[in-house]
Amino acid sequence: MIIGLGNPGTVYKNSRHNLGFKTVDLLCTQLGLHLSDQRFQTLSTSTNYHDKKIILACPQTLMNRSGIAVKYLVEYYRPEIRNVMVIHDDIDLDVGRIKIACGGGAGGHHGIESVTYHLRTNGFSRTKIGIGRPRYNEAIEGFVLNPFYDDQQTTIKEVLHLAAKAIESFVLYGVEAAMNTFNSLTTRSRR
């Protein structure tokens, strides 16, 4: 189960907080899928990928309530909890970096706090995509809801492709393999 976190609506479409949505959208494009199922306060779809059933989903509950939709999905599909991959932005990672993890704290990310609270566990897997820290003393709440700086746009496009490859590795080989392969990588423009 691949779940991208974000906020629905065009006003948030290109915000830093919507990297989870953007990654799921990219995966859908690559697989020729559309998020057409509107159950569970989520846009989702499912397919078979290399003989494995995968569900791709974007909760429509607003970021801070993401756990409500994730709980509905998990209760319906009943995946093993470590096979739930939640994709989200991470302010503690530089732009151009991703980090795969299983378990751990929320790091102040309200979407992850909501998922942990509603699932009653932090044992799900995560793909964290770096957004870096504000350059101009912007308040964090506004910073995450705004687009990336102009000079970061190319790097973000590249890192979304890196995240999509990490998700593929997760589906095919598991979270540990994805961690070992992708946690040391950065996008070309950061090398």
Domains in the chain with CATH codes: 2-190 (3.40.50.1470)
Question: What are the E-state strand segments in 12-97?
Answer: 42-49, 52-59, 85-90
Structure-token pair, residue 70: 């994730």
Q: What is the per-residue pLDDT for 185? A: 75
CB 82 within 8 A of CB 67: no
Q: What is the per-residue pLDDT for 184? A: 80
Structure-token pair, residue 165: 């490859």
Contacts 24+ apart (CB under 8 A), 134-140: 140/91
The closest alpha carbon to 88, from 171, 26, 3, belongs to: 3
Structure-token pair, residue 42: 């989520």
Quickly count: other Cβ atoms within 10 Å of residue 129's Cβ. Answer: 27
Please give the positions annotated as active site: 17
Q: How many helices and strands (H and E) does the chain possess?
A: 6, 6
Distance CA 184, CA 154 (A): 20
Q: What is the per-residue pLDDT for 160? A: 97
Question: What are the E-state strand segments in 50-113?
Answer: 52-59, 85-90, 98-102
CB 152 within 8 A of CB 112: no
Output the tens digit of pLDDT for each of the chain's 191 residues: 999 999 999 999 999 999 999 999 999 999 999 999 999 999 999 999 999 999 999 999 999 999 999 999 999 999 999 999 999 999 999 999 999 999 999 999 999 999 999 999 999 999 999 999 999 999 999 999 999 999 999 999 999 999 999 999 999 999 999 999 999 876 654 43
pTM of this prediction exceeds 0.85: yes
Q: What is the per-residue pLDDT for 188? A: 52
